[in-house]
Amino acid sequence: MKALLAGAATALLLAMAGVANAADDPLKICLDEDLPPLSAHHRGKPDSGFDVALAQAIAERLGRPFKIQWFESKLDEDSSPALEANALLSDGRCSLVGGYALTKDSLVVPGVATAKLPDFDGATREDRRRRIPIGVLAPSRAYIYSPMTVLLGPNARDRIKDRKITDIGDLAGLRLAIESGTLGDAILMTFDKGKLIDDITHLVPGRSDLLGELERGEYDATLLDLRRFDAYRASHPDTKITASGYYYPIGANRGYVALETDKALLDAVNAALEELQNKGIIAQLGQAAGLTWLAPREPAVLGDVWLKILSR
């Protein structure tokens, strides 16, 4: 009997130790290093952004320390944010990827068995060569809505007078600038069977300074992710660019994504997000980060974006 009790006591202590170790295990979250004001990681500067603060708040509610795995997502024709996120998760670099756009296309079952890792903080030459066997992604509840908005240059008001921008068609007659191959490009080019085509100048993403040229009055308006304007406004507090107040009606929520096998973690994160949103803390974190925080909207996961655009 004594031996049996001793064995039971030992098992209980080991179980308690396992729980304690789990609580001490950092919650690892992957964040894009250059997505201000959502997340930013630059040498010589403290880490910053809404997603950094939100990750800390969630980890506190889960009773765990947290660690950020920074990565770099390159915008080129060979990159796939969905596959990069999947590779990071499947390789164990993190348990959650934050700031993830929740769209049907970004959550489909992968059509390939392996994927390459994006460049990440601490990556070796071997890491850049490896292909990772990947799983299936599952989303958390959304925590912010990310729309596209019309931005107006300093001369635009003289051209439109008292006219308000309430639809893409109100941009007719303005000098429009847009980055080639972007969602904004597709929206403007296909609007009303090409009604705006003659007003559009295309700029090369990564080579041209879209907002700088808009600032200098070389163009009158553009259609851009609201997050990018928040970031620009933070670094150019005296900007003469103004937000029109119009949001394109097709936008995406952002949330976390994990592997579908990590359901327990997603359930815990969802509970923490619900508490934080109900208390208004998520909105406060957004405001503190200089982000225009908008509450998530239905549908939680955006469907086929291109069909929606073409049908308008």
Strand, helix or coil for residue 11: helix
Strand, helix or coil for residue 135: coil
> Using omega within 30 degrees of 0 as the cis cutoff, is the peptide bond preceding 296 cis?
no
- CB burial of 105-120 (b: ≥16 within 10 Å; e: otherwise) equals ebbeebeeeebbbbeb
Predicted TM-score of the model (pTM): 0.87
pLDDT in tens, 31-64: 999 999 999 999 889 999 999 999 999 999 999 9
Q: Which position has the higher pLDDT, 19 or 153?
A: 153
CB 262 within 8 A of CB 95: yes
> Using omega within 30 degrees of 0 as the cis cutoff, is the peptide bond preceding 154 cis?
no
- Amino acid (1-letter code) at residue 246: Y
Residue with tokens 């670099």: 93
- Residue 1's pLDDT is 42
pLDDT in tens, 111-167: 999 999 999 999 999 999 999 999 999 999 999 999 999 999 998 977 877 778 999
Please determine, for residue 73, whether its predicted confidence score (pLDDT) is greater than 70: yes
Please determine, for residue 10, whether its predicted confidence score (pLDDT) is greater than 50: no
